[in-house]
């Protein structure tokens, strides 16, 4: 029996940190000696954990952005700011949560030193929420229980509350509980001392070009942003009162990315000693394009183990306005090339990094005029509009997706740009148009179902009833005949109005929350009929219509004037598709005698249609 091999003791690896000084972090500092076989790196510890920053100075972040976060967080910890919620938003891997953890540790230690306290461990500086299953607790209540417990982390136990892991916000009840909990926290009594809360959100935009038109708007199902997570009204109100502060992060600049990665390469010189400098430089130039430091470090470790030459498997996505800017102004990255080559590379970058072409074309149509302050030949603008229109006719042809942006860039290249100043970009009015269209369809559908109770198509109810019935009901003669004095019917679905483009994200979650316009009697009638149906009351032709709305905005005595000729009123009255009010039999017979001189009405009455 062969003797057993003695087990070698495991190698001890020094916990290197990026906080150690590196004399030279440039490419020249990388060893280029080529041993015959590259040593395999130790995979027991991920590099993102091994080289995690331990000091604020080691953060891979723009110093100005770091200073901005530091100032806000320091004032929140010191109790000098009315801000209750700090929101850090941006792409993944932009050092949002790492900067919060290090800054919280630093400022809390400084506070403890001033107050004479002690902080033996940095774990007390951050209390982080993790979405996990807790027995005997409903999932939608877990976040509220966590926040209730954090209210006591004040005074000597002061900590910073970090929310990076979110509950199941795609479940409506959990989302509403999440918002309600933060709303109560943010708008609580100003005299109540609460610990600082920091929300770190990696914003995501999902391609929605293949979805139906009525779903082509921003909500939490297709775009995870601060507005869709917190709700536009809550976020705007908190920002206006100063209780919510938002700081936007951008992808990390190439300079900071390369400096951090070269530090890691220098510390792992034994691993990269056999790597060719050309291959390594080419790989670094590829991964720093993403602006994601976490993904880049993982890719660097993976490359060191297997020597793959692909720059990165991560998609390098760009935002909507970023894509529009590259089409309208071309990319500054290729400024040294000739115009045609620069434009071609800019369009290729947009096509590779942005996939929602339908939304991109709509936003281009909204913003093409901002070039050179809209001071250029109208024929060039006509070329842009024609190109985008032609692109719409080619919808469905996959090869034609880039035609609209290529033609737009070719047309705007003719504009002689004299000034670097430009107007702010705006979101497409397409979202607001969808919202108003859905509102009209919903109200017309409710009218046909609950009030008219006739089998009418949407087109017939919208064009005929929606247009003529308000004129009939608001006329002086109809009101006099039915004993009505003050109420106002608007067009079904609301009056016509102009739609304007906004610079803010057009968030739309529950369309019923965005019903605009003055109250009118159609809405009151529909609500009354729905209420009666829910109560189990059978509707009949003799039911009384709902009470008139007392507040008729802008109504004057002139509004009661009859707008119809006497000769046409009886014909319009015969086509009304609504229930009449209940009257005594003698009064009703008298009214029929008064209007029965018309032979057409006599025929309709004899057939039982009136």
Convert the pLDDT of each residue in 143-170 to its tens digit. Answer: 999 999 999 999 888 999 999 999 988 8
Query: What are the backbone angles phi and psi of residue 102, rounded to the nearest 5°?
Result: -70, -40
Q: Which helix (H) or strand (E) holds 386?
A: helix 378-393
Dihedral angle of Cα 205, 211, 213, 218, to the nearest 10 degrees:
-20
Angle in degrees, CA 43, 49, 53, rounded to 5: 140
| pLDDT for the residue numbered 581 | 42
Q: Supply the pLDDT for residue 125.
A: 85
In this predicted structure, the answer to whether residue 317 has a pLDDT above a threshold of 80 is no
Position 499 scores a pLDDT of: 80
- Percent of the chain past pLDDT 90, that is, above it, reads 22
Residue 334 to residue 448: CA distance in whole angstroms? 59
393-405 residue pLDDT tens: 887 777 677 888 8
**pLDDT tens-digit map of 533-589:** 877 755 444 455 555 545 444 444 454 444 445 455 555 545 554 444 444 444 444
Query: What does the angle CA 43 – CA 251 – CA 166 come to, to the nearest 5 degrees?
Result: 75
Contact 443, 523 (CB under 8 A): yes
- Give residue 6's pLDDT: 46
What would the mean pLDDT of 513-534 be, rounded to a whole number? Answer: 70
Q: What is the mean pLDDT of residues 41-64?
A: 86
Kindly provide the b/e burial profile for residues 36-71, where b requires at least 16 CB atoms within 10 angstroms of the residue's own CB: eebeeeeeeeebbebbebeebebbbbbeebbeebbe
How would you write 113-145 as a 3-class SS string? HHHCCCCCCHHHHEEECCCCCCCCCCHHHHHHH
Say how many C-beta atoms besides its own lie within 10 A of residue 81's C-beta.
18
The residue behind tokens 């060893």 is 31
CB 595 within 8 A of CB 570: yes
What mean pLDDT is predicted for residues 69-73?
95
Bridge partner residues of 149 (DSSP): none
Q: Which residues, in sequence order, are CB contacts of 525 under 8 Å at separation 6+?
A: 447, 450, 451, 545, 546
Segment 281-300, tens digit of pLDDT? 888 888 888 889 998 998 88
Query: Is the predicted pLDDT of residue 335 greater than 90, yes or no?
Result: no
Q: What is the pLDDT of residues 453-473, one digit of tens each?
A: 888 888 888 888 888 888 888
pLDDT at site 67: 95
> Using only C-alpha atoms, what is the Rg of the chain?
33
Which residues 6+ apart lie within 8 Å of 256 measured at CB? 60, 61, 62
Whether CATH 3.40.50.300 fits 50-248: yes
- Supply 482's token pair: 């039915």
In the numeric block, the tokens 């130039």 are attached to 285
| 3-state helix/strand/coil string of 536-554 | CCCCCCCCCCCCCCCCCCC
Residue 423's φ and ψ, nearest 5 degrees, are -80, 155
Q: Which residue has the higher pLDDT, 177 or 416?
A: 177
Integer Cα distance of 559 and 120 in angstroms = 77
User: Distance between alpha carbon 608 and the CA centroid of its chain, in Å?
Assistant: 56
Q: What pLDDT score was predicted for residue 210?
A: 44
Is residue 312's pLDDT more than 80? no
Distance CA 210, CA 170 (A): 20
Indicate whether 218 pLDDT > 50: yes
**Predicted local distance difference test score (pLDDT) of residue 565:** 52
Full DSSP string of 421-437: --PPP---THHHHHHHH
* Bridge partners, residue 312, by sequence: none
Going by pLDDT thresholds of 50, 70 and 90, the confidence category of residue 25 is: very low
Contacts of 88 (CB under 8 A, 6+ apart): 69, 96, 97, 99, 100, 198, 199, 200, 201, 246, 247, 249
**Residue tagged 């005997």 (tokens):** 136
Start-to-end Cα distance in the chain = 110
Average pLDDT, the chain: 76
- Are 468 and 563 contacting, i.e. CB atoms less than 8 angstroms apart? no
Angle between helices 521-534 and 430-446 (to 10 degrees): 60
Question: What is residue 42's predicted lDDT score, i.e. its pLDDT?
Answer: 61
> E strands, 350-489, where?
none
Distance of alpha carbon 610 from alpha carbon 600, whole angstroms: 11
By CB neighbour count within 10 A (0-12 exposed, 13-18 middle, 19+ buried), where does 137 fall?
Answer: exposed
Is the confidence at residue 200, as pLDDT, over 70? Answer: yes
Q: Tell me, what DSSP letter sits at residue 451?
A: I
The pLDDT confidence band at residue 221, using thresholds 50, 70 and 90, is: confident
Q: Say what the pLDDT of residue 194 is.
A: 93
Distance CA 366, CA 364 (A): 5
Cβ neighbours for 78, distance < 8 A, ≥ 6 positions apart: 111
Element (H, E) at 597: none
Residue 430 has pLDDT above 70, yes or no: yes
What local confidence, expressed as pLDDT, does residue 514 receive? Answer: 45
Environment class of 496 (CB within 10 Å of its CB; exposed 0-12, middle 13-18, buried 19+) = exposed
The strand pairing partners of 127, in sequence order, are 161
pTM summary value:
0.62
DSSP, res 218? B
Statement: residue 173 has pLDDT above 50: yes
Could you tell me the two tokens for 215?
A: 């779903």
- pLDDT tens for 474-503 read 888 887 887 665 567 888 877 787 887 777
The answer to whether 604 and 610 are in contact (CB under 8 A) is yes
């Amino acid at each position: 029996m062969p003797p057993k091999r003695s087990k070698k003791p495991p190698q001890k690896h020094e916990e290197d940190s990026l906080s150690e000084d590196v004399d030279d972090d440039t490419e020249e500092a990388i060893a280029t000696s080529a041993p015959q076989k590259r040593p395999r790196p130790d995979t027991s510890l991920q590099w993102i954990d091994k080289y995690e920053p331990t000091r604020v100075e080691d953060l891979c972040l723009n110093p100005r952005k770091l200073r901005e976060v530091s100032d806000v967080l320091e004032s929140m910890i010191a109790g000098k700011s009315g801000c209750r919620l700090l929101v850090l938003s941006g792409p993944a891997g932009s050092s949002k949560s790492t900067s919060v953890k290090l800054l919280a540790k630093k400022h809390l230690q400084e506070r403890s030193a001033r107050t004479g306290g002690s902080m033996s461990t940095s774990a007390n500086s951050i209390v982080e929420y993790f979405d996990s299953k807790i027995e005997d607790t409903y999932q939608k209540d877990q976040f509220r229980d966590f926040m209730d417990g954090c209210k006591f982390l004040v005074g000597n136990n002061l900590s910073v509350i970090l929310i990076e892991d979110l509950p199941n916000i795609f479940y409506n009840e959990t989302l509403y509980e999440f918002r309600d909990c933060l709303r109560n926290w943010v708008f609580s009594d100003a005299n109540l001392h609460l610990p600082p809360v920091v929300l770190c959100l990696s914003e995501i935009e999902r391609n929605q070009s293949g979805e139906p038109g009525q779903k082509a708007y921003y909500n939490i199902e297709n775009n995870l942003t601060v507005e869709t997570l917190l709700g536009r009204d809550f976020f705007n109100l908190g920002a206006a009162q100063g209780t919510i502060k938002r700081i936007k992060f951008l992808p990390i600049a190439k300079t900071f990315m390369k400096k951090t990665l070269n530090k890691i390469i220098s510390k792992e010189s034994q691993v990269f000693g056999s790597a060719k400098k050309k291959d390594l430089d080419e790989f670094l130039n590829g991964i720093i394009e993403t602006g994601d430091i976490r993904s880049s470090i993982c890719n660097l470790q993976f490359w060191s183990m297997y020597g793959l030459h692909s720059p990165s498997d991560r998609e390098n996505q760009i935002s909507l306005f970023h894509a529009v800017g590259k089409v309208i102004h071309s990319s500054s990255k290729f400024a040294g090339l000739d115009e045609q080559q620069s434009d071609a590379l800019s369009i290729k970058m947009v096509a590779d990094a942005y996939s929602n072409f339908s939304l991109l074309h709509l936003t281009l149509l909204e913003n093409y005029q901002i070039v050179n302050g809209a001071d250029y030949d109208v024929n060039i603008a006509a070329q842009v509009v024609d190109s985008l229109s032609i692109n719409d006719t080619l919808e469905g042809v996959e090869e034609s997706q880039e035609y609209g942006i290529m033609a737009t860039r070719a047309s705007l290249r003719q504009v002689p740009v004299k000034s670097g100043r430009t107007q702010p970009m705006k979101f497409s009015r397409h979202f607001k148009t969808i919202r108003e269209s859905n509102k009209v369809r919903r109200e017309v559908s409710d009218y046909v179902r609950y009030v008219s109770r006739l089998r009418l198509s949407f087109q017939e109810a919208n064009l005929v009833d929606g247009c003529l019935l308000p004129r009939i009901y608001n006329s002086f003669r109809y009101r006099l005949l039915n004993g009505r004095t003050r109420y106002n019917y608007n067009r079904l679905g609301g009056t016509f109005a102009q739609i304007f483009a906004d610079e803010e994200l057009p968030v739309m979650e529950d369309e019923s929350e965005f019903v605009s316009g003055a109250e009118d009697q159609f809405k009151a009638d529909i609500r009354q009929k729905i209420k009666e149906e829910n109560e189990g009351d059978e509707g009949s032709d003799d039911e009384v219509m709902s009470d008139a709305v007392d507040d008729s905005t802008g109504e004057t005595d002139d509004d009661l004037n009859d707008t119809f000729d006497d000769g046409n009123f009886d014909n319009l009255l015969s086509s009304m598709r609504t229930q009449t009010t209940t009257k005594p039999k003698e009064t009703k017979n008298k009214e029929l005698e008064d209007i029965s001189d018309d032979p057409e009405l006599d025929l309709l009455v004899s057939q039982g249609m009136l």
